[in-house]
Structure 1
Amino acid sequence: MGLGDGLAVGKRRSLGRVSVAIVVAAGLALCGACGGGDGGGGGGDGSLSVGVLLPGGGASRFGQFDRPLIEKKLKELCPECPAASVAATPDPAVQRQQVDAMITRDVDVLIIAAIDAEALRPSVEAADRAGIPVVAYDRLAEGPISGYVTFDGATVGRLQGEALLKAMGTKVPGSQIVMMNGATIDPNAGWFKQGSLSVLKGKVEIGKSYDTVGWRPENAFVNMAGAIAALGAGNIDGVLAANDSLAGAVVSALNAAEVRPLPPITGQDADLAAVRRIIRGDQYMTVYKPYKPAADAAVEMAVALGRGKSVASIATGTVDSATAKDIPAVLLPSVSVTVDNIKDTLVKDGLYTVGQICTPNLRSACDKAGLTR
């Protein structure tokens, strides 16, 4: 779907609506509870309703960062909007129900971070038939997507691979690593993997490589324990963990096997627990993805499409999915974070304060890293 197609989809929705209400589904039951004055597309109250579906809440990056930033941007674009009602799910079947419920509610536009890109396709197609444009957020769902906002996955993987090689230093020739990749149902996982392999191939031996079902830490723990048993505790020179949750599971498995010292381990998302592991020396790096530009771009796209406008001035290029070509897209840069630049990246950007990072037991390590209050 090209820029013109996105505009055409938007024009099927009513124009001239001036207020924006964010409605985030938690399934059919919650959507029923969301009824009333928050302004669905068929409500006749002149509002523009935006449905947002996220793959995680609470302590996940989507709950901690993306959700409040999306809400804030919507409020900036429309100060008179009612308060947001927000929920999320890690279950792809539930997410399909959420999308279908949003279609039934006749929302004007959807922002979706897909759990399973392929499984969600029928729901995306149903939204298109109903004249509801879809903005894919962070993960590219299949089907007729009108816009896409994410971080360049190849760059994320490349940063991880480069950091791992740097951390292993002189061990690189003939070294052996374990790859703890993400879930195959998430297209970003393959993107990260390709990016890291573009750096690692021919330089290290990949002793074991796992695709972690559901991105679940418990699965990564089992896989890492298997890798230790198969390769030997002293024969793992590094671990390419695709995100911080997997990295935490890797550290736990290595600790359970009493591996000392820990090999360098990568991550992604700049989770607070991971930042503390980096300070402690248990994890070498994480990839920081500034979430505000992503949330802002997704909301800007959604509001434009919902109001029947083009996203040409927002998109910085186009991408292709397995089912669509030339999707207007915003691909944002990422930053490699190690103990040496936490202050100049995460703290400087206001993601965390020194006080949040530096618990009492980390005070000495924080002082060494230059993280002073």
Structure 2
Amino acid sequence: MRTRWLLAVAATAAVLLGACANSDADDQPGEKEAPTIALFLPESKTTRYEAFDRPLFEAKVKALCAECKLLYSNADQDAAKQQQQVEAALTQGADVLVLDAVDAGAVAPLVNQAKQKDIPVIAYDRLISGISYEYYVSFNNVRVGEMQGQALLDALNAAGTTAKGQIVMINGSPTDPSSADYKAGAHNVLDGKVKIGREFDTPDWSPDKAQQEMEQAITALGRDSVVGVLSANDGMAGGAIAAMKRAGYATLPPITGQDAELAAVQRILTGEQHMTIYLDIRREAEQAAELAVALGRGEQPAAPAKVDNGTAQIPAYLLDPVPVTADKIKDTIVKDGFYQAADICTTAVAAACAKAGIQ
């Protein structure tokens, strides 16, 4: 009898232990059937974030994981606001953070808060420094700057103005590490080949501040001496172009950009802007979404590259940028469906579209 009683107790204990183990497994961070994924974007002055990054990311998450819950926040270029948003998401039970940091050099404490809760982090578009984390998804940013610099240099050489004046460099936000990469890439190409008359780091990537910087440069250097402008993105290019028009330029000097904003694509067709860098934001957003869903399910796919953020080697997905001038719009931006021809070819741009074969 005692033997049977001992066997019964042992069997009951085994069942209870198995149940506890299964319960523990079910409660492991990052292994939920319906994980909560939080996306944080830095600002809305650059049109891509609300027009492309957010909807593309959210659509891909829902396509891969219909039961997943999404949290979204835009910091409006306010680092303190973004801190509150991240902390709120952690309180709400976020299982994965996808973070495009306002100040990528100062968010390590936020990433550390997530690490303490075993919440994985993906640095999106901007490389976060000072701490290790799961993934970095972006473009080859130094290459972006090199492409901008080379496009400007080619335009100056074609016009025969390389040695006849100076250029103005309008870089992005000093708190964005991608901006430093763009600047470094541009200098790789331009240094020693053209005179840089004025160079600015533009807080918040603000088009209004870029316009003010360009106005200052024209006043300091003289209108006729400015032969080209290296603008790190399309929004700031628009500000610089407004300044040059206001200064009375009969013909605008070549100016670069990035992001393939609709207004910039139209300016390129009409000759006001020389080029843009086309970033396949769909691929970037969908890659981040795929990784977020995988992390939420307890998976960790191998990344094809690693990037040194000063503290750790971060597994990375780095996509290729594409330089686009007027003759390339049809076979890149339109062909990929980034914009429809009808979106680009408004009445004011119709003749330029016809010339470029865009219908």
TM-score by length of 1: 0.85
User: 2:147 matched to 1:159?
Assistant: yes
User: 2:4 matched to 1:14?
Assistant: no
Structure 2 distance, partners of 1:208, 1:112, is 33
Match of 1:243 in 2: 233
Structure 2 distance, partners of 1:144, 1:129, is 12
Shift of 1:85: 5.5
SS of 1:97's partner is helix
Paired residue total: 330
Distance change (3 Å), C-alpha of 1:236 and 1:17: same
Structure 2 distance, partners of 1:13, 1:195, is 43
User: 2:199 matched to 1:184?
Assistant: no
Shift of 1:106: 2.2
Match of 1:120 in 2: 107
User: 2:187 matched to 1:202?
Assistant: no
Match of 1:27 in 2: none
Structure 2 distance, partners of 1:182, 1:221, is 13
- Map of 1:130-145 to 2, 5 A cutoff? 130-142=117-129, 143-145=131-133
User: 2:344 matched to 1:357?
Assistant: yes
Structure 2 distance, partners of 1:167, 1:79, is 48
Cα deviation digits, residues 122-155 of structure 1 (max 9, x gap): 1111111111111000001233321000000011
Aligned residues: percent identity?
45
* Counterpart residue identity of residue 354, structure 2: D
Distance change (3 Å), C-alpha of 1:241 and 1:13: farther
Cα deviation digits, residues 88-141 of structure 1 (max 9, x gap): 122111111111111111211100111111222211111111111110000012
Asked if the contact 1:116–1:186 (Cα under 8 Å) also holds between the matched residues in 2, the reply is yes
Structure 1 distance, partners of 2:118, 2:29, is 10
SS of 2:259's partner is coil
Distance change (3 Å), C-alpha of 1:246 and 1:59: closer
SS of 1:79's partner is coil
Asked if the contact 2:96–2:119 (Cα under 8 Å) also holds between the matched residues in 1, the reply is yes
More displaced 10-residue stretch of structure 1: 291-300 or 228-237: 291-300
Shift of 1:291: 1.1
More displaced 10-residue stretch of structure 1: 241-250 or 255-264: 255-264
- Map of 1:195-274 to 2, 5 A cutoff? 195-274=185-264
* Counterpart residue identity of residue 32, structure 2: R
Structure 2 distance, partners of 1:15, 1:155, is 34
Shift of 1:180: 0.1
Q: Which runs of 5+ in 1 are unaligned?
A: 1-10, 19-46
Asked if the contact 1:174–1:204 (Cα under 8 Å) also holds between the matched residues in 2, the reply is no
Match of 1:281 in 2: 271
Shift of 1:79: 2.8
Distance change (3 Å), C-alpha of 1:175 and 1:12: farther
SS of 2:298's partner is coil
Q: 1:69 aligns with which of 23, 44, 56?
A: 56
User: 2:321 matched to 1:334?
Assistant: yes
Distance change (3 Å), C-alpha of 1:130 and 1:339: same
Structure 2 distance, partners of 1:196, 1:13, is 46
SS of 1:277's partner is helix
Asked if the contact 2:31–2:296 (Cα under 8 Å) also holds between the matched residues in 1, the reply is no
Structure 1 distance, partners of 2:243, 2:340, is 29
Distance change (3 Å), C-alpha of 1:62 and 1:105: same
Cα deviation digits, residues 45-91 of structure 1 (max 9, x gap): xx211110011348710111111110111012113446x56441221
Match of 1:311 in 2: 301
Structure 2 distance, partners of 1:256, 1:61, is 27
Structure 1 distance, partners of 2:50, 2:237, is 19
Asked if the contact 1:58–1:64 (Cα under 8 Å) also holds between the matched residues in 2, the reply is no
Structure 1 distance, partners of 2:45, 2:228, is 30
Q: 1:94 aligns with which of 57, 76, 81?
A: 81
TM-score by length of 2: 0.88
Distance change (3 Å), C-alpha of 1:48 and 1:80: closer
Shift of 1:160: 0.3
Match of 1:110 in 2: 97
Displaced runs of 4 or more, over 6 A: none
Structure 1 distance, partners of 2:278, 2:290, is 22
Shift of 1:272: 0.3
Asked if the contact 1:128–1:144 (Cα under 8 Å) also holds between the matched residues in 2, the reply is no
Q: Going by fraction, where is helix more abundant, 1 or 2?
A: 2
SS of 2:142's partner is helix
Q: What is the root-mean-square deviation of aligned Cα atoms in Å?
A: 1.7
Match of 1:292 in 2: 282
* Counterpart residue identity of residue 171, structure 1: T
SS of 1:150's partner is strand
The structure that has the greater radius of gyration is 2
Shift of 1:260: 2.0
Distance change (3 Å), C-alpha of 1:204 and 1:13: farther
Structure 2 distance, partners of 1:225, 1:191, is 25
